[in-house]
Chain A
Amino acid sequence: MSALKIKKGSTSHSAYELRDPNADIVERHTLACIVENEPGVLARVIGLFSGRGYNIESLTVAEIDHTGHMSRITVVTTGTPAVIDQIKAQLGRIVPVHEVHDLTVEGPSVERELGLFKVSGKGDQRVEALRLADIFRANVVDSTLESFIFEITGTPEKIDAFADLMRPLGLQEVARTGVAALSRGAI
């Protein structure tokens, strides 16, 4: 995340493990866990992060296979390379967790987040908000004479940038989904 000045995993486009395991640099990684959608599975994952003192920057969960009852949990976390490796190993140890993928090191990936922004204003401010929304390809999903709700999809950085622009234009409320991510190309 640019705002946090945290360096992204340096090998996101390499097939080789080039990271120095002893480095003290804090990296941001996007992890995807495929889990059995049984009661308490999310609590287990969150409890692991809180219990062992790991960070959660964003967390997205939804069932992705209704017949097989499988869910995908996407966690964006930060830590030194050693901590990231430990997080992955600890996640893999949870019984209902079937797979753990580190999208940051496993190859190129696509990350998207959806944000809803309520912006209120009149006159020029309102026109400017609408103009910027158009530049960011945000959709208007609700409108009154004093307000808009914009729907925007993109990388977390893009949504951050949009929020920064909307703030002086009457930003009132924000709802964000957290990151959903997939690796690029065929499996």
Chain B
Amino acid sequence: MARQMTGAKMVVQALKDQGVDTVFGYPGGAVLPIYDEIFLQNDIRHILVRHEQGAVHAAEGYARSTGRPGVVLVTSGPGATNAVTGLTDALMDSIPIVVLTGQVPTFMIGTDGFQEADTVGITRPCTKHNWLVKETDKLADTIHQAFHVARSGRPGPVLVDIPKDVQFASGTYVAPKSARVSHYQPQVKGDIGAITKLVAAMEKAERPIFYTGGGVINSGPAASQLLRELVDATGFPITSTLMGLGAYPASGKHWMGMLGMHGLYEANMAMHDCDLMINIGARFDDRITGRLDAFSPHSTKAHVDIDPSSINKVIRVDIPIIGDVGHVLEDILKVWKSRGRKTHKDGLAKWWGKIGDWRKVACLSYTNSKKVIKPQYALERLEALTKDRDRYICTEVGQHQMWAAQYLTFEDPNRWMTSGGLGTMGYGFPASIGVQMAHPDALVINVAGEASWLMNMQEMGTAMQYRLPVKQFILNNERLGMVRQWQELLHGERYSQSWSESLPDFVKLAEAFGAKGIICKDPADLDDAILEMLAHDGPVIFDCLVEKHENCFPMIPSGKPHNEMLLGNASTKDAIQAGGAVLV
């Protein structure tokens, strides 16, 4: 039934019909009619953030931990421009979010009106798609389209820009069912010929490896289940990118740990020496490949991706399979079983032997201290004291993020929220708010560095207002640790602008917001302090003062291949040459 209503009411109705229960936002002049409608209803909960960037990251946290699109509502001009970082972050990590922005009325567009910005122009390169709605009659249809595009294919952020007069005017509402059918229907089934080719390669492979990524998580929980079944049935080793942690359980028999620049030695060595690489939902990112011309030189490479533009973008593959990870995994399993569940048993046994040798290097070992808390030790303790709980982990960006990926374990998908592609400092705290909103009874921890955390610290107000017991576990080294590490390795130990002067007293800061603050600097006190944090029913800022000059290892230096990893401080001298220094 088509119904007449105002544009503002349509927005709220469309969100309800799309199953939205939470909106993260910040009001302003150009969205007041929509906020009026939000005031008049109780189905959708609005979370008032303290900065629009926080709204988008919170929506990302919500989306990543639930698999459903996160929704953001902000005003025109600065509201929209403040959302740009979050949109770019979501685009890089393929996170479905729908951002609704207010706009000056249509008759003022182009006049440089108050709080006017060319939102659609500014966000065109940082959204999967965006729309400016100029007629109220098209508003509901556009919002439904926006959800469809955000969710379909390779997920991503979309934006709908709604001028204020469109919000006030009346028009015809269309329900999702009667909305225009979009031509945008990405292919989900993989080509069965290519899948058969891959299975044939799997049967013969002596040194195979699964290299999985965020695409497995984006494909849904069923894809993770199928992946587990396939890995365990074939007995192939599996490694994952930062984005894909949790798709295969860390306690699983065939798990090798994360790969990449700060990935595990055994994972990177296996990638380099394998004869069959099966990339499932990852994109050969530069953090993964290292030097391209020396990337896994002797392997046959298969790549499963729903986005055709990911295939052959940086690495030429032998067996491209375009399709949804879940659908493709199902077909791989079906074909492999129907052909008699064959693998090269002898080759595999030898391969695992070699992997065992690499594991003996114990690349994550570090020198602990009784005097000062090592960041690795802090994460080991956090892991030990929380791993049996219903736990979600967010991170900011930097050394702490890599240590969290190395020392924390993930048994299930959607439990790990980190800014991978864009590397957005300030991501973790608002993301933890979004996660906690979606999972009110779960333990949500944001592993942070002090510098990253300060970038969106204003969201303490949001956490307090909605009584969200997010735990901010700050590894405080009073440094921009990763910047410092690169300056040590690459720039002659000239630590230009990379230490945090004038840091706040984090305990007092917590108390100023009405939250709990804990400081810990003695390794002997760490367990009790962590337990105190876990026991507190409310937001906690945990100021964990750690070793200031710890470097994150292992590390593939810029411009080096996988088999030339740095394992510790002893080997770092002149490790990166001029060619590598130019890389990020």
Contacts and interface: CB of A to CB of B under 8 A. Distances in A.
Contacts of B121: 40, 43
Interface string A82-117: 100110011011111010000000000000000000
Interface in B269-309: 307-309
A89 B184 contact: no
Given A22-B316, A40-B124, A92-B309, 9 more contacts: A40-B132, A44-B124, A51-B125, A85-B312, A86-B312, A89-B308, A89-B311, A90-B309, A93-B308
Interface in A18-52: 21-22, 36, 39-40, 43-44, 47, 51
Contacts of B125: 47, 51
Contacts of A22: 316
Contacts, number: 38
B313 interface: yes
Nearest to B309: A89
In the complex, which range does the number of interface residues on chain B fall in?
Answer: 10 to 19
A40 B130 CA distance: 9
A96 B183 CA distance: 8
B132 A39 contact: yes
B312 A98 contact: no
Given A39-B132, A98-B183, A47 B312 contact: no
Interface of B: 120-121, 124-125, 128-129, 132, 149, 183-184, 307-309, 311-313, 316
Nearest to A87: B309
B185 to A, nearest CB: 11
A21 B309 contact: no
Contacts of B308: 89, 92-93
Contact of A93 (B120, B124, B183, B309): B309
A83 B3 CA distance: 49
Question: Number of contact residues on A: which range applies?
Answer: 20 to 34
A94 B313 CA distance: 16
A90 B311 CA distance: 11
B316 A21 contact: yes
A187 B308 CA distance: 24
Nearest to A51: B125
15 contacts: A22-B316, A40-B120, A40-B124, A40-B132, A43-B124, A47-B124, A85-B312, A86-B313, A89-B309, A89-B313, A93-B308, A93-B309, A95-B128, A95-B129, A98-B183
Q: Which 6 A-B pairs have the closest CB atoms?
A: A89-B309, A95-B129, A89-B308, A90-B309, A93-B309, A95-B184
Contact of B309 (A39, A40, A47, A86): A86
Contacts of B312: 21, 82, 85-86
A95 B125 CA distance: 13
A10 to B, nearest CB: 19
Contacts of A85: 312
Contacts of B128: 95
B307 A93 contact: yes
Contacts of B129: 94-96
Interface in A115-137: none
Nearest to B158: A95
B553 to A, nearest CB: 34
Contacts of A98: 183
Contact of A95 (B149, B313, B316): B149
B137 to A, nearest CB: 15
A139 to B, nearest CB: 40
B121 to A, nearest CB: 7
Interface string A56-96: 00000000000000000000000000100110011011111
A95 B184 CA distance: 6
A96 to B, nearest CB: 8
Contacts of B184: 95
A90 B184 CA distance: 15
B379 to A, nearest CB: 38
A96 B142 CA distance: 13
A177 B149 CA distance: 34
A43 B312 CA distance: 26
A69 B316 CA distance: 37
A106 to B, nearest CB: 17
Nearest to B134: A39
Contacts of B120: 40
A54 to B, nearest CB: 12
A13 B313 CA distance: 26
A43 B313 CA distance: 23
A85 B317 CA distance: 13
Contacts of B311: 89
B126 to A, nearest CB: 10
A44 to B, nearest CB: 6
Nearest to A98: B183
B127 to A, nearest CB: 10
Contacts of B309: 86, 89-90, 92-93
A98 B182 CA distance: 11
A93 B120 CA distance: 18
Nearest to A50: B125
Contacts of A51: 125
Nearest to B183: A98
Contacts of B132: 39-40
A62 B184 CA distance: 22
> Among B132, B309, B312, which residue has the most Cβ atoms of chain A within 10 A?
B309
Contacts of A94: 129
A65 B349 CA distance: 62
Contacts of A43: 121, 124
A36 B184 CA distance: 11
A117 B231 CA distance: 67
Contacts of A39: 132
Nearest to A22: B316
A144 B183 CA distance: 52
Nearest to B154: A93
A51 to B, nearest CB: 5
A32 to B, nearest CB: 17
Nearest to A48: B125
Contacts of B124: 40, 43-44, 47
A44 B124 CA distance: 7
A59 B86 CA distance: 33
A98 B183 CA distance: 7
B434 to A, nearest CB: 25
A92 B306 CA distance: 13
A108 B174 CA distance: 46
Contacts of B307: 93
A82 B183 CA distance: 27
